Amino acid sequence: MASNNETVIQYKSDHKGRVLTKLNRLRKRKVFTDVTFKLKDGEVSAHKNVLAGYSKYYEIMFTSGGSSEDLVLRIILNWVKHDYKQRQQFITYLFQLIHVKKLSTTLIEEIVKTSENWIKTSKSYFDVLTLEYISRLEKNQIVTIVGARAEAAYDFMVVGGTYEENLVYIYDVVGKHFREIMSTLYERWGSTSVKIRNHVYKAGGDETNSVECLDLNHFYIGWNKVSSMIEQRWFAASAVLNDQMYVTGGMNARYEALLSVEFYNPVINKWTYTALMKTKRYEHALVSYNGSLYTFGGYDGLIPLNSMESFDPQKKKWNTLKPMNERRQGLCGVVYNDQIYAIGGNELNSVERFNMRTHTWSKVSSMKYKRCGACACVVNGKIYVIGGYGDKESKMTIEVYDETSKKWRLESNMETLICFASVVAL
């Protein structure tokens, strides 16, 4: 005769099967059933507790109290929690649903809670905006992405480059760190970028004339293609004049230096030619100041250049100005304290500036490293020069110049190498 323990073991081993068999009989008689599946050839009744016990899908469905769309989104939300790139794509879709009011309040609350967990372990700029943006939506506040960025005035964006051709980074000059955001549609190096009215435009690059745009007010949507330039331009330079993007020179598909200049009107999404430069050039600098454009340095296909010329948009004419002291190919150019700075190039670490009143060039303090193919911008009253090649440390460092000290200092080491990228101050 079996012992009591043996009897219990036999009973337990058969318990699940007997319970499910009994439940299935009740289901067929529609006893205690509380859910019905409508099929093409009829209906099937079931018990919610059995389905929920068997499937996480049904557990969420029956306990959430939301729509079927909420259910699907919750499952995906759980799936992408630990996958950053999948998370980016998912949140982009969420934002679209939020704007057409297809998400329930309970799901938005759940997303906010999940975002708070993400933000604790992530330096991602995208995650910061996700948390802030959705939190404000939950409170029914009308906001924009730019409005959610507390440090917008102290950031700059680095786009593309030789080593990370479609990656985009935001550098926080206060926190001194990079955050990766939405990648560009196309891989680009030797391209050029500007910012016009909270939109960043990225043009040209290695064997292309394509242009794409990122709306900073809604950049969770990602980059969008806009009208292409008339010519292919590699290593061109760009600047903003009268809320239009001007692009000068560059290298064409036949690897020839260009004289041509074209400008983009974002209102009508159209590129138009304007007056030719006096000197063909690529890997040069272009800046906008007081209603005029100034281009200097670069390479004409034979030798590095030290020449400089200015463009008057009213007369549509380029005028020759006094050349730089040094020939500079692959240099950076910025306007800082009403003077034009020519930075590096040709593996140089030297810097000189152009006085607008006297139209003369003079040398200033040299950088710590030689830099060619770097990019530069002015943020928070300082010049930032990012990456480039020349010395071993050039590609992975940032240098900063402050007129108060009149010296360059190393800002930080970068996690990624940057060369022939482009930068815009935000």
At 411, which CATH number? 2.120.10.80
Say which range, 177-181, 344-348, 408-412, has the weakest mean pLDDT.
Answer: 177-181
How far apart CA 259 and CA 282 sit, in angstroms, is 9
121 or 354: which carries more pLDDT confidence? 354
Say which range, 33-37, 192-196, 248-252, 317-321, has the weakest mean pLDDT.
Answer: 33-37
Percent of the chain clearing pLDDT 90 (strictly above):
52
Whether the Cβ atoms of residue 326 and residue 307 lie closer than 8 Å to each other: no
**pLDDT per residue over 47-97, tens digit each?**
778 777 766 556 655 665 545 555 555 555 555 554 555 555 555 555 555
pLDDT score, position 166: 84
pLDDT score, position 133: 47
Domain that holds residue 255: 154-425
Whether the Cβ atoms of residue 237 and residue 247 lie closer than 8 Å to each other: yes
pLDDT score, position 295: 98
Task: Please state whether the predicted TM-score (pTM) of the whole model is above 0.85.
Answer: no
pLDDT score, position 108: 57
- Report DSSP letters for 243-270, one per residue: TEEEEE--B-TTS-B---EEEEETTTTE
Whether the Cβ atoms of residue 287 and residue 266 lie closer than 8 Å to each other: no
| Domain-located, residue 147 | no
How far apart CA 367 and CA 384 sit, in angstroms, is 11
How far apart CA 192 and CA 264 sit, in angstroms, is 13
Residue 350: pLDDT above 80? yes
Residue 13: pLDDT above 60? no
pLDDT score, position 105: 57
| Domain-located, residue 199 | yes
Residue 284: pLDDT above 80? yes
pLDDT score, position 138: 45
Phi, psi of 127 (to 5 degrees): -65, -40
Total of domains in the chain: 1
Can you tell me whether residue 311 is helix, strand or coil?
A: strand
How far apart CA 248 and CA 281 sit, in angstroms, is 8
Looking at every residue in the chain, the average pLDDT score rounds to: 80
User: 237: burial class by Cβ within 10 Å (0-12, 13-18, 19+)?
Assistant: buried
Distance of CA 138 to the CA centre of its chain: 25
| Domain-located, residue 119 | no
Q: Please, which pLDDT band fits residue 144 given cuts at 50, 70 and 90?
A: very low
Residue 280: pLDDT above 80? yes
Mean pLDDT of all residues in 406-424 = 90
**pLDDT per residue over 379-414, tens digit each?**
989 999 999 999 999 999 999 999 999 999 998 778
**pLDDT per residue over 219-277, tens digit each?**
667 899 999 999 999 999 999 999 999 999 999 999 999 999 999 999 999 999 999 99
| Domain-located, residue 224 | yes
Largest CA distance in the chain: 114
32 or 152: which carries more pLDDT confidence? 32
How far apart CA 114 and CA 122 sit, in angstroms, is 12
Mean pLDDT of all residues in 213-221 = 79
| Domain-located, residue 402 | yes
Residue 294: pLDDT above 90? yes
**pLDDT per residue over 84-126, tens digit each?**
555 555 555 555 555 444 555 565 556 556 555 554 444 444 4
153 or 369: which carries more pLDDT confidence? 369
Residue 3: pLDDT above 70? no
| Domain-located, residue 28 | no
Residue 420: pLDDT above 90? yes
186-224 CB burial, b ≥16 within 10 A, e <16:
bbbbbbbbbbbebbbbbbbbbebbbbbbbbbeebbebbe
Report the chain's C-alpha Rg in angstroms.
30
Residue 149 in tokens: 């960025």
Q: What does the H/E/C string look like for 47-104?
A: CHHHHHHHCHHHHHHHHHCCCHHHHHHHHHHHHCCCCHHHHHHHHHHHHHHHHCCCCC
- Give, in order, the Cα–Cα distances in Å from 397 to each of 163, 386, 393: 14, 6, 6
Instruction: Give 230-234's long-range contacts (Cβ < 8 A, gap of 24+).
Output: 230/262, 230/271, 230/273, 231/258, 231/260, 231/262, 232/204, 232/207, 232/208, 233/192, 233/203, 233/204, 233/209, 233/258, 234/190, 234/191, 234/204, 234/205, 234/206, 234/207, 234/208, 234/282
| Domain-located, residue 180 | yes
pLDDT score, position 44: 73
pLDDT score, position 196: 96
| Domain-located, residue 307 | yes
What residue has token string 């479609």? Answer: 166
Residue 171: pLDDT above 70? yes
324 or 103: which carries more pLDDT confidence? 324
pLDDT score, position 126: 45
